[in-house]
Amino acid sequence: MTASVSLLPSQVTEGQGPGMAYRIEGQLVPVLHLALNGQMPVYFEHHVVLWKQPQIDIQLMRMPGAFKRVIAGMPIMMTQAVGYGEIAFSRDSSGQVFPLTIPHGQSLYVREHQFLAATMNLTFAPERIKGVGSMLFGGQGFWQDRFDAPQGDGLLWLHAHGNAFEVMLQPGEVIDVEPGSWIYRDVSVGYGQQMYGLKTGLLAGGGNIVFNRFTGPGRVGLQSGYYSPAAGAEQAAGTAAAVGGAAAALKIGSKLLGG
């Protein structure tokens, strides 16, 4: 095997980021603990907060592409933690939480429903990728967030279903990945889809199997317990039921949401 594959850390006891210290602990449903020094806020989807100290202020933040996130079945409101003190985050799912550094001037694509938290010096925008293998749109594509680091090195925390691995692809090196099992990729990594026809016999029918094809150079994150279409469908259904209220919220708070 030529690709460099490594298991990402599942426990961090003394992590350091811009304006904060952090630790990651827990075996089944891991928790991210942040100790903020008041200099760098962090932003996150509002439902992932586990606990916080009273002096930490939770605020609504400006967010581009709010309506796009409604369509994608993702939360339309992003919140931020400001101040000095501790706060903890966890997704309601077993798996692995891990940190990623995005160096100044670089970017990263993150798959839908994998984001946990990020430092405020990272910007992001949702993008839809058309093609086969959708989790939410019946095979018509999927959504990803692009994170950019225009103001120094930024820190991003993601949640993997199962264990998280990183593949480092060399220039021109290719790997085919089951569509639900990738988490992130460098913007330098090319993306495409590869479809294989399956035949079961002369008089029998056939089918297709689809892989996401990534071409180096750059990093690709993988998860062993890949994203469940049933979970995505359930979340999409809940989002559809709330679209009326979401539309009203967007009209009332359009300046705050920036969408």
Tens digits of pLDDT across the chain (259 residues): 456 789 999 899 999 999 999 999 998 999 999 999 999 999 998 889 999 999 999 999 876 655 555 655 555 678 999 999 999 999 988 999 999 999 999 999 999 889 999 999 999 888 887 765 444 334 456 788 899 999 999 999 999 999 999 999 999 999 999 988 999 999 999 999 888 776 665 555 556 788 999 999 999 999 998 765 444 444 444 433 433 444 344 344 444 444 4
Q: Give the Å distances, CA to CA, from 133 to 111, 136, 201, 237.
A: 13, 9, 25, 19
pLDDT at 126: 82
Closest by CA to 229, choosing from 98, 112, 69, 65, is: 112
Question: How many angstroms separate the CA atoms of 194 and 187, rounded?
Answer: 19
Q: Report the pLDDT value the prediction gives residue 182, as an integer from 0 to 100.
A: 94
Helix axes 229-241, 243-252, angle to 10 degrees: 60
Q: Residue 189 in contact with residue 107, Cβ under 8 Å? A: no
3-state DSSP assignment of residue 147: strand
Of 166, 123, 129, which Cα lies nearest the Cα of 146?
Answer: 123
Determine contact, residues 90/29, Cβ cutoff 8 Å.
yes
